[in-house]
Amino acid sequence: MADPRKTSLNTATVRQQWSLEQCIEGCARHSFAAIAPWRDMLAEMGVERAARHIRDAGLSVSGLCRGGMFTASDAAGLRKARDDNRRAIDEALAIGADCLVLVVGGVPGGSRDIAAGWTQVENGIAAMLEYSRQVGMPLAIEPLHPMYAADRACVNTMRHANDLCDRLGEGVGIAIDVYHVWWDPELFAQIRRAGKKRILAFHVCDWLVPTRDLLLDRGMMGDGVVDIPAIRAAVEAEGFDGLYEVEIFSAQNWWQRDPDEVMQTVLERMITSV
């Protein structure tokens, strides 16, 4: 059983019903410990105003979604990604985020060269590190399920993320999202390899059978096939004592429900299914 008092709301979970301001108010009303905004919602509210409201609500920030998207077909695209990631670091600092989550980008546009994508990702993170280390903002690589390798993230396994951390060094860790890594035969070994120092974030939801949409049909914890308690126990065995961040994209179900019902269900499932 997870401690519901350590729950963080990733704002994707109710983004179709609530603005960021409403998410902040909802987290406070339901006694969530923390929030994890998406950058588009943060921009809509205004970074300084959002930071003030989060502080006034007594909430921590488990992470900012998202930096990354390092891959591009030309030099101009790579420069654009570099500049955007610098802004993302500043935004994460402004709201007091524990880390900046990196969704790294897929195969460079117009290409079939996934290896080029891997190189651009590593170079892109390396280019961020001087500044992120200077200001003290940890960067959390989030390996995504292989179905997203082409367009969203060509880092798809915990092993690949750990290898990147080995080469890049201080200031880089991993955001473990059970939706993306539950299937990996090496998952538990790679969690042990990551250890406390590298596990910067832990995201939960569930994999539904059948899954009707590869992006927008995630399940509430306990409604699918993921052994979330076993994965939670593994990260905690390595010393992870951070927040449990709930991130559910659900166009046909949870985004259609009353958001207060969603929030209450999240807290109940933290006890029964996490």
Q: Name the residue with tokens 């590298």.
A: 198
> Average pLDDT, stretch 121-130?
97
Domain count, the chain: 1
Within 13 Å of residue 113, how many CA atoms lie on the same side as its CB?
Answer: 12
> Average pLDDT, stretch 42-58?
98
pLDDT-derived band at 1, boundaries 50, 70, 90:
confident
Nearest to 221 by CA among 49, 33, 4: 4
CATH of the domain at 14: 3.20.20.150
What pLDDT sits at residue 115? 98
> Average pLDDT, stretch 6-31?
98
pLDDT-derived band at 179, boundaries 50, 70, 90:
very high
Within 13 Å of residue 179, how many CA atoms lie on the same side as its CB?
Answer: 27
What pLDDT sits at residue 235? 98
What pLDDT sits at residue 42? 98
> Average pLDDT, stretch 129-145?
98
Instruction: Summarize pLDDT for 98-116 with one digit per residue, the tens.
Output: 999 999 999 999 999 999 9
What pLDDT sits at residue 135? 98
CB 66 within 8 A of CB 91: no
Proportion of the chain above pLDDT 70, given as a percent: 100
- Which three-class secondary structure string do you get for the chain? CCCHHHEEEEHHHHCCCCCHHHHHHHHHHCCCCEEECEHHHHHHHCHHHHHHHHHHCCCEECCEEEEECCCCCCHHHHHHHHHHHHHHHHHHHHCCECCEEEECECCCCCCCCHHHHHHHHHHHHHHHHHHHHHHCCCEEECCCCHHHCCCCECCCCHHHHHHHHHHHCCCEEEEEEHHHHCCCCCHHHHHHHHHHHHEEEEEECECCCCCCCCCCECECCCCCCCCHHHHHHHHHHCCCCCCEEECCCECCCHHHCCHHHHHHHHHHHHHHCC
Give the C-alpha distances (Å, rounded to integers) separating 154 from 27, 171, 173, 237, 261.
33, 21, 17, 28, 35
CB 227 within 8 A of CB 201: no
Instruction: Summarize pLDDT for 196-255 with one digit per residue, the tens.
Output: 999 999 999 999 999 999 999 999 999 999 999 999 999 999 999 999 999 999 999 999
Instruction: Summarize pLDDT for 88-98 with one digit per residue, the tens.
Output: 999 999 999 99
Average pLDDT, the chain: 98
Domain of residue 255, residue span: 4-272
Q: Would strands 244-246 and 7-10 be described as parallel, antiparallel, or unpaired?
A: parallel
Nearest to 84 by CA among 69, 97, 72, 74: 69
Nearest to 45 by CA among 66, 30, 24: 24
> Average pLDDT, stretch 57-69?
98
- Output the six-digit token pair for 31: 């006694």
What pLDDT sits at residue 17? 98
